[in-house]
Protein backbone atom coordinates (compact mmCIF):
# COMPACT_ATOMS: atom_id res chain seq x y z
CA UNK A 1 0.00 0.00 0.00
CA UNK A 2 1.04 3.52 -0.67
CA UNK A 3 2.38 5.77 2.07
CA UNK A 4 2.98 8.68 -0.33
CA UNK A 5 0.11 11.20 -0.26
CA UNK A 6 0.71 11.88 -3.97
CA UNK A 7 -0.29 8.32 -4.86
CA UNK A 8 -3.62 6.53 -4.64
CA UNK A 9 -4.07 2.75 -4.32
CA UNK A 10 -7.25 1.45 -5.95
CA UNK A 11 -8.54 -2.10 -5.56
CA UNK A 12 -9.83 -3.50 -8.88
CA UNK A 13 -11.33 -6.74 -10.15
CA UNK A 14 -11.24 -7.38 -13.90
CA UNK A 15 -13.39 -9.92 -15.74
CA UNK A 16 -10.68 -9.96 -18.39
CA UNK A 17 -7.35 -8.32 -17.64
CA UNK A 18 -5.11 -7.35 -20.52
CA UNK A 19 -2.16 -4.99 -20.60
CA UNK A 20 -4.20 -2.51 -22.64
CA UNK A 21 -7.21 -2.55 -20.29
CA UNK A 22 -5.03 -2.32 -17.15
CA UNK A 23 -2.91 0.56 -18.43
CA UNK A 24 -5.87 2.33 -20.01
CA UNK A 25 -7.69 2.38 -16.66
CA UNK A 26 -4.54 3.39 -14.79
CA UNK A 27 -3.78 6.36 -17.02
CA UNK A 28 -7.46 7.41 -17.21
CA UNK A 29 -7.71 7.50 -13.41
CA UNK A 30 -4.41 9.37 -13.07
CA UNK A 31 -5.66 12.06 -15.45
CA UNK A 32 -9.05 12.19 -13.72
CA UNK A 33 -7.78 12.64 -10.15
CA UNK A 34 -4.42 14.26 -10.89
CA UNK A 35 -2.37 11.82 -8.84
CA UNK A 36 -0.32 8.71 -9.53
CA UNK A 37 -2.51 5.60 -9.31
CA UNK A 38 -1.51 2.12 -8.21
CA UNK A 39 -4.06 -0.52 -9.27
CA UNK A 40 -4.20 -3.50 -6.91
CA UNK A 41 -5.75 -6.59 -8.49
CA UNK A 42 -7.73 -9.03 -6.37
CA UNK A 43 -5.67 -12.04 -7.47
CA UNK A 44 -2.44 -10.39 -6.28
CA UNK A 45 -3.57 -10.15 -2.65
CA UNK A 46 -2.74 -12.93 -0.24
CA UNK A 47 -5.22 -14.21 2.27
CA UNK A 48 -4.37 -13.48 5.90
CA UNK A 49 -4.52 -17.25 6.53
CA UNK A 50 -1.56 -17.94 4.22
SS3 of the chain: the string is CCCCCCEEEEEECCCCCCHHHHHHHHHHHHHHHCCEEEEEEHHHCCCCCC
| pLDDT of amino acid 48 | 60
pLDDT in tens, 1-48: 555 578 999 999 988 889 999 999 999 999 999 999 999 987 776 666
| pLDDT of amino acid 1 | 54
∠15-19-23 over CA atoms, to 5°?
95
**pTM flag (> 0.85):** no
Amino acid sequence: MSSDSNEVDIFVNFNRKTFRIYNGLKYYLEELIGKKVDLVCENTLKSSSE
